[in-house]
Structure 1
Amino acid sequence: GYMQQFSSWGKESEAVFYGLKPGKYTFRAEAGLSGQKPLSRLEFSFVILPPWYFRWYAFLMYTILLGLAVFIFIRWRSWKFMQEKIKLEALVSARTEELIRERDRTEQLISKMLPRETADELKKKGKATSQKYEMVTVLFSDIQGFTKIAEQMNPETLIDQLDVFYLHFDSVVEKYNIEKIKTIGDAYMCAGGIPEKNRTNPVDVVLAALEMQQYMREMKAQNANFWELRIGIHTGPVIAGVIGQKKYSYDIWGDTVNVASRMESSGEAGKVNISGQTYELVRDFFICEYRGKMPVKYKGEIEMYFVKGIRPELSLNLKGLPNQRFFLMLQNLRLLDLQEYIQEKVLEKAPPEMHFHNAVYAEEIFMQSELLGRAEGLSEEELLLVRTASLFECPGYILDYFNPVEKNLAYADELLPKFKYSPGQIDKIKKLILSSADTDQQWIAEKVLQDARNSFYGRKDFPVRIKAMWEEMHAHGQSVLPEEWLREVKNRLRKFAFYTETARRLAEITPQEQEAALNEVFKDQDKS
């Protein structure tokens, strides 16, 4: 091994070292006679190299291999993680899709069981509030002698036949926007005017009843042993709401329901029996036969009528189908619903700075358009179009003051289909709305509407209305000095003329008198 000192003197001429560690060494040797000074000395240095696996390049290789191993391990772990993540995401996605499908099925089921608005409220709040409706038309139908029929027929055949005409009844009530309430055995119950209020529900329900009876007659013509149907109808107030916590059901309550049920039980097979209250609401549309009075508990005696069919003048080729005039009359009822809708949704929510384009002016245009239209001899359809277009004068200013016409057109596109206006009618109404910016009116309906818009030009309240218009403009940032506005209005007055003879006759005051009144109204404004 390694020696730090000379060995003892000996006769050997060689030295052997074992197990020397890698490093730098110096070998020294001396030769001489024993007991005398060394005669010669030898010294040389040498280096023992480490094995290759301890050299620098080996450690570099080890470092690289270790880094590579760590890199591979990390990548493998990442790959495993990604595999797990993908598997988990696929599992979550599949479960989510399943939950969405389940939710859609549940919502679809709820929407079939409940009206859309009620179903939406139930989903948002977890419960639905009951609501009172002042005018709802309730229909009850019942199969004549069903108990005896049920005893004689095979149960499966009986259910299949019930299912056939109940499916048809469902399509009929959906066609007339009527809400199906429930079926109990052979009894079918539905109601018009819920959940969306409307004035047409008595007519809609009677039309549906006539169509149901016609279907039963057609079925009986194919099968002599087919059943006959009794139908009873009554119109009045009801309370509607959802009952049940686990199994929801939409139902209605009130005396109206009870009276409708009595109308059905007091009717005759193959006929539609209506109450006197319903008769008063549909008498202009249908031929009805008076059949006496029926005592009802707490209600006294109620008159009853059989509906024989649509009036001849309203029937298409006298075949019992509604003609164009019938639908025009019905659309006039929907027009009142549209007016009420715009009043509630827009006009009543107008900000206080709407001094001119407000509910008062909207009502004025609506009434003037009918007055002038009838006086000028507009057809029933033209009158309907003018009155409808008049409703879209103020909403545009309330919804978007600086783009009122465009907003009115968009609002008409949104609302009119919901109130069953035809595409052709909608196009004509939009043309009338656009006529507010046109100074060259050609169509008599446009002239009537323009005069309805400007009817205040011929009234004594003209100066007050003009001042209200100026205040409204001022509130919306259109800063016009009073004297400038007064000058502009006077220029308008000198050029102004009504289009229709009726509007000219109704004018209470001349343009010259209006100018003098304007000066008086704006006098205090000039001082301020």
Structure 2
Amino acid sequence: MKNKSPQSDQIARIQQELENVQQAYIQLQERYREAQETIKELSKTKGDSFTSGTAHTKRFKMVTVLYANIIGFQELEHVDDAQALIDDLDSLFFEIDTIVERFNIKKIKSLGDTYMCAGGMPKKNRTNPIEMVLAAMEIVDVLAQKQKKEGKIWNISLGIHTGPVQATISGKNKNVYELKGDAVNIASRIESYSQAGKIVISETTHEFVRDYFICDKIGGLPVKYTGVISMFELIGFKPKFSDDDLLRIPNQRFYTRFGHVRFHDLEEYILNRLEKELPQYLYYHNVKHTMDVLIGVEVIGTAEKVSDAELLLLKTAALFHDMGQIVQSKGHEDISCKFAREILPHYAYLPNQIDEICDIIMATQLPPNPKNILQKIMCDADLDYLGRPDFIPVSDTLYEELKHQNLIENKDDWSALQIKFISGHQYFTDFAKQNREVNKQRQIERLQKLTSGGR
């Protein structure tokens, strides 16, 4: 076995240092963006936000508010050891704080035996009604366990409503939120109709969560200028989303469906970043290409009958597969994976899911060499345009991109390069073979006519 030369060791060290620098760069980018978003939230003075003194006010269009009341506290407030009672209540509120934080929910206040929190702020999302219901179910279960194990006689009633709010934000070291608006008032009034151990939601919240949970209509709530709002008692998960006899514990099918809902927030975030941060000379590897591949994996994935869980992995890989182009074109697949590993944990992706997503992304490196059906679908979606009617205009954008980078000189060279590439290319899925392969062969004929002398 030959010993490595000093030059080889030096090259390996430099490559490792380069990889470390790239990873640090990606992490710094994320921190910089987070700081920018924080500054934007704090300094925005027009549109849906305005300032007054040291505080500023911001309007949120879709927030889910939970209002809770600790039942039994009033009966215990005259006990001899009042401090112990307060300590118990503080301990309970701390547990509730931990639960709501885990579901991306912001605690607004706890006062006496009442507690209020809100989802969908300060970072906006589409998932807050579902997350609030999940948190409410866990809170009720925690109280039930305390009653059983510790003999506590108090309980909790909860009211939930989704709607717009106006938040006054103040505080120097930590933002303090004061909420106003119908969403707050309606949540509070709904809680007053609730009973011990019950979760009552408004019809607006019900619209967002009814596909996942069993809810029984229990009556109507008169609201000024609005009319009567229907109220629903939340019973538990629908049977297909829980393997638990009591319908309190979600199963993997639920998490997959919920992941698809959360994906829309991720999609919006990534596409906005690509729109703002991709170099302007990327005429082909731009947001449109990412959307094309995203649509492609859905079409081909559906045709190949992949599961919902697999489709989520494919869509996520498609969303990230060219994000590394923000940094550089060469080796961008590896950089895209680093972005994925940095961002996806914030959207509740598990480590094994992230690993598989990165494997799918890496399969798009040329020449493609997919190892499984998901990688094959991704590779076919990435080069789907080779067999589509819009091949020529799409390939022209790639030509302009490569020409800008001095990687191609003229159209004749480009046509010859494409003929060579397409002739050696193969589709991997049955869908692409049946729907793209024939057109791909026609592209070669078209390109041959475009080359000088019809070669």
Question: If the length of structure 1 is used for normalisation, what is the TM-score?
Answer: 0.71
User: Counterpart in 2 of 1:269?
Assistant: 196
User: Counterpart in 2 of 1:491?
Assistant: 420
SS at match of 1:391: helix
Unaligned runs of 5+ in 2: 1-34, 44-50
Q: Is this contact kept in 2: 1:121–1:128, CA < 8 A?
A: no
Residues of 1 paired with 2:36 and 2:181: CA distance?
A: 22
Residues of 2 paired with 1:252 and 1:521: CA distance?
A: 65
User: Counterpart in 2 of 1:175?
Assistant: 102
Residues of 2 paired with 1:211 and 1:397: CA distance?
A: 42
What is the count of residue pairs matched by the alignment? 409
Q: Is this contact kept in 2: 1:448–1:499, CA < 8 A?
A: yes
How large is the RMSD of aligned CA atoms in angstroms?
3.0
Q: Of 391, 414, 436, which aligns to 1:462?
A: 391
User: Counterpart in 2 of 1:450?
Assistant: 379
SS at match of 1:478: coil
Q: Is this contact kept in 2: 1:242–1:249, CA < 8 A?
A: yes
Residues of 2 paired with 1:369 and 1:498: CA distance?
A: 14
Matched, 1:288 2:209: no
Task: Give, in angstroms, the shift of residue 244 of structure 1.
Answer: 6.2
Residues of 1 paired with 2:195 and 2:380: CA distance?
A: 54
Distance 1:496 1:278, change over 3 A: same
Which of the two has higher C-alpha Rg?
A: 1
Task: Give, in angstroms, the shift of residue 317 of structure 1.
Answer: 3.7
> In the TM superposition, what are the counterparts of 1:24-423 in structure 2 within 5 Å?
129-144=56-71, 146-150=73-77, 155-222=82-149, 226-243=153-170, 249-319=176-246, 320-423=248-351
Q: Is this contact kept in 2: 1:286–1:311, CA < 8 A?
A: yes
User: Counterpart in 2 of 1:425?
Assistant: 353
Q: Is this contact kept in 2: 1:314–1:326, CA < 8 A?
A: yes
Residues of 1 paired with 2:223 and 2:371: CA distance?
A: 58
Task: Give, in angstroms, the shift of residue 318 of structure 1.
Answer: 3.0
Task: Look up the equivalent residue of 1:384 and give its one-letter code.
Answer: L
Question: If the length of structure 2 is used for normalisation, what is the TM-score?
Answer: 0.82
Q: Is this contact kept in 1: 2:72–2:153, CA < 8 A?
A: no
Task: Give, in angstroms, the shift of residue 143 of structure 1.
Answer: 2.3
Unaligned runs of 5+ in 1: 1-114
Task: Give, in angstroms, the shift of residue 120 of structure 1.
Answer: 10
Output one character per residue of 1:67-123: Cα deviation in whole Å (capped at 9) or x when no partner: xxxxxxxxxxxxxxxxxxxxxxxxxxxxxxxxxxxxxxxxxxxxxxxx997699769
Q: Is this contact kept in 2: 1:464–1:521, CA < 8 A?
A: no
Task: Give, in angstroms, the shift of residue 521 of structure 1.
Answer: 7.6
Residues of 2 paired with 1:116 and 1:269: CA distance?
A: 44
Distance 1:153 1:387, change over 3 A: farther
Residues of 2 paired with 1:118 and 1:355: CA distance?
A: 32
Distance 1:153 1:193, change over 3 A: farther
Distance 1:116 1:498, change over 3 A: closer
User: Counterpart in 1 of 2:13?
Assistant: none
Q: Is this contact kept in 2: 1:463–1:521, CA < 8 A?
A: no
Task: Look up the equivalent residue of 1:159 and give its one-letter code.
Answer: I
SS at match of 1:436: coil
Higher relative contact order (CA 8 A, sep 6+): 2
Task: Give, in angstroms, the shift of residue 229 of structure 1.
Answer: 1.2
User: Counterpart in 1 of 2:32?
Assistant: none
Residues of 2 paired with 1:178 and 1:302: CA distance?
A: 24
